[in-house]
């Protein structure tokens, strides 16, 4: 949403990567303030959050945020705050887990082989070779041994958490019956009517007993979405929760080709026909058994761990100290009043940040205060550093209240501000299409075509330059070789 973030995304990526190499040398509130787009800070804090009164430092935040570096350069500007929140949230969750590690006295060991693998993955992920790492380490006045020690320390945490979760999970047994229940499937069709229409399903059953085709009767009488397909639900196993326990149990109790009587379930009445079955026997079943056992074991571990962690999270006392991140969290939880207050505070702390204005406007919209959202966008245009997205968002807001005149006026400004940004013109074109303005949409398409043509011409130009450079280099090598040959001959 904001020109600062778009213009500086590549700087931000290397800032984060280098910060990891430096082991925190560039950390602190000033570094975080850079990612916010600068500006004044009236309430600087020494940490970003608290988890059960234990602080989350800026160093810890950056150690996590660097993992997003590979996607930040391609992320839309309005997504950067989301990635910052995700990084902080992961640190908060890890902090909570590490508190439990301490409480449970969990231990773990990181080997030299683990460190070697991490360095190999790090170089592959960031396209960094040994020479580049040596250069960065030299700039940070750090030797390889110290860096390896830092990595070993960083890898300790996930190993400890893994051991904690293994303890939480305990022993899990997957029985042969569990595997059978997962493997076996039926294909069934249904006829369903609402409770008040029982007479209709009785009429349908009469037609079935008279020999009429189940699919045709379902199309004529059934009242669920499957009616259009002749009542066919496809294959499902005993965990087919979407259809309800009664329907699943009835289907598994029938043989292929058998039709049930009328039974009551899910606020209505059903008739079920089984058209096919996959039974737990034969070579295919035997070949799949262990894979099913592994899959069920993984699923049950995840369920146990997730339930445990949700309880742990509910009991934790968590406070985010950075207003815009607290506001983003409030948005995700649907607490729009709190989000509004936090984004207002963020704007006071960092005046002129268009991203914060935009999120504030979104919070107003979600809170049903469209007039305040429009007012906020207009304040951003007057007071903040902005780009096309603010005008686009304001135009879209006008569209949502059917004020097409103002919607189009702001979309046109957005188009002018967007320059050669194809993504922007694509969104504006689709907005025009949704409003029924085909001529304006075609104008945006023409701009997109021109941008693509320019990009293609530039790519061809660069390819030609590279080809000319390669040709010149080849000629130079030939001349050197010719000269060398003549010297040897003489």
As a whole number of angstroms, the distance between CA 112 and CA 154 comes to 13
pLDDT in tens, 266-306: 889 999 999 999 999 999 999 999 999 999 999 999 999 99
Instruction: Indicate if the pLDDT at residue 336 is higher than 50.
Output: yes
Cβ pair 352, 321 in contact under 8 A: no
pLDDT in tens, 350-379: 888 888 999 999 999 999 999 999 999 999
185-278 CATH: 3.10.50.40
Domain borders along the chain are 3-169, 185-278, 402-490
Average pLDDT (428-440) is 97
Residues 6 or more apart from 484 whose CB is under 8 A from it? none
Task: Name the residue with higher pLDDT: 213 or 483.
Answer: 213
pLDDT in tens, 54-65: 999 988 898 788
Task: Name the residue with higher pLDDT: 308 or 63.
Answer: 308
pLDDT in tens, 391-416: 999 999 999 999 999 999 999 999 99
Burial 353-380 (b: 16+ CB within 10 A, else e): bbbbbbbbbbbbbebebeebbbebbeeb
As a whole number of angstroms, the distance between CA 275 and CA 394 comes to 55
pTM equals 0.70
pLDDT in tens, 237-265: 998 778 889 999 999 999 999 999 999 99
The token pair at 110 is 């990181």
Q: What SS3 class is residue 76? A: coil
Give 77's pLDDT tier (boundaries 50, 70, 90). Answer: low
The pLDDT assigned to 5 comes to 38
pLDDT in tens, 79-117: 888 999 999 999 999 999 999 999 999 999 999 999 999
- Paired strand residues for 353: 385
The pLDDT assigned to 90 comes to 93
The pLDDT assigned to 11 comes to 35
Which region among 23-37, 96-110, 157-171, 189-203 has the lowest average model confidence (pLDDT)? 23-37
Cβ pair 63, 11 in contact under 8 A: no
Instruction: Indicate if the pLDDT at residue 308 is higher than 70.
Output: yes
Instruction: Indicate if the pLDDT at residue 450 is higher than 50.
Output: yes
The pLDDT assigned to 35 comes to 52
Instruction: Indicate if the pLDDT at residue 71 is higher than 80.
Output: no
Which region among 145-149, 202-206, 372-376 has the lowest average model confidence (pLDDT)? 145-149
pLDDT mean across residues, the chain: 87
Fold of 3-169: Triger factor/SurA peptide-binding fold (1.10.4030)
The pLDDT assigned to 266 comes to 84
Instruction: Indicate if the pLDDT at residue 438 is higher than 90.
Output: yes
Instruction: Indicate if the pLDDT at residue 22 is higher than 80.
Output: no
The pLDDT assigned to 387 comes to 82
The pLDDT assigned to 157 comes to 87
As a whole number of angstroms, the distance between CA 280 and CA 285 comes to 6
């Amino acid at each position: 949403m904001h020109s600062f973030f778009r213009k500086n995304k590549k700087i931000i990526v290397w800032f984060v990567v280098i910060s990891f190499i430096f082991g925190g040398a560039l950390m602190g509130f000033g570094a975080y303030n850079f990612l916010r787009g600068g500006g004044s800070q009236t309430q600087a804090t020494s940490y970003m959050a608290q988890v059960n009164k234990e602080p989350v430092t800026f160093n810890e935040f950056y150690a996590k945020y660097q993992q997003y570096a590979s996607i930040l350069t391609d992320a839309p500007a309005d997504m950067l705050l989301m990635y910052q929140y995700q990084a902080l949230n992961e640190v908060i969750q890890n902090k909570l887990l590490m508190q439990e590690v301490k409480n449970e006295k969990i231990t773990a060991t990181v080997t030299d082989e683990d460190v070697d693998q991490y360095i190999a993955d790090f170089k592959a992920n960031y396209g960094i070779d040994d020479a580049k790492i040596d250069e960065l380490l030299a700039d940070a006045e750090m030797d390889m041994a110290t860096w390896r020690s830092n990595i070993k320390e960083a890898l300790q945490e996930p190993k400890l958490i893994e051991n904690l979760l293994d303890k939480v999970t305990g022993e899990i047994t997957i029985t042969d019956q569990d595997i059978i229940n997962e493997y076996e499937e039926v294909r069934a069709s249904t006829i369903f009517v609402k409770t008040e229409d029982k007479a209709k399903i009785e009429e349908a059953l009469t037609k079935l007993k008279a020999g009429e085709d189940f699919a045709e009767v379902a199309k004529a009488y059934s009242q669920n979405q499957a009616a259009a397909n002749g009542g066919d639900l496809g294959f499902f196993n005993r965990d087919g929760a979407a259809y309800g326990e009664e329907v699943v149990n009835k289907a598994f109790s029938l043989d292929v080709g058998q039709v049930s009587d009328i039974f009551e379930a899910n606020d209505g009445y059903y008739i079920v026909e089984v058209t096919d079955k996959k039974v737990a026997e034969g070579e295919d079943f035997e070949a799949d058994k262990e894979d099913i056992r592994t899959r069920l074991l993984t699923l049950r571990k995840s369920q146990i761990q997730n339930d445990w962690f949700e309880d742990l999270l509910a009991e934790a006392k968590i406070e985010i100290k950075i207003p815009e991140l607290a506001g983003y969290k409030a948005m995700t939880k649907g607490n729009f009043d709190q989000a509004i207050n936090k984004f207002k505070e963020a704007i006071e702390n960092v005046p002129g940040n268009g991203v914060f204005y935009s999120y504030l406007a979104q919070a107003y919209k979600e809170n049903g205060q469209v007039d305040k959202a429009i007012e906020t966008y207009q304040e951003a245009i007057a007071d903040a550093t902005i780009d096309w997205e603010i005008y686009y968002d304001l135009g879209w807001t006008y569209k949502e209240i059917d004020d097409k005149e103002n919607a189009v006026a702001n979309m046109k400004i957005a188009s002018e501000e967007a320059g050669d940004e194809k993504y922007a013109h694509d969104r504006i074109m689709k907005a025009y299409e949704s409003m029924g303005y085909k001529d304006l949409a075609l104008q945006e398409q023409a701009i997109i075509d021109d941008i693509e043509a320019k990009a293609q011409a530039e790519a061809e130009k660069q390819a030609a330059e590279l080809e000319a450079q390669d040709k010149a280099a080849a000629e130079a090598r030939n001349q050197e070789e010719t000269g060398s040959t003549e010297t040897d001959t003489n």
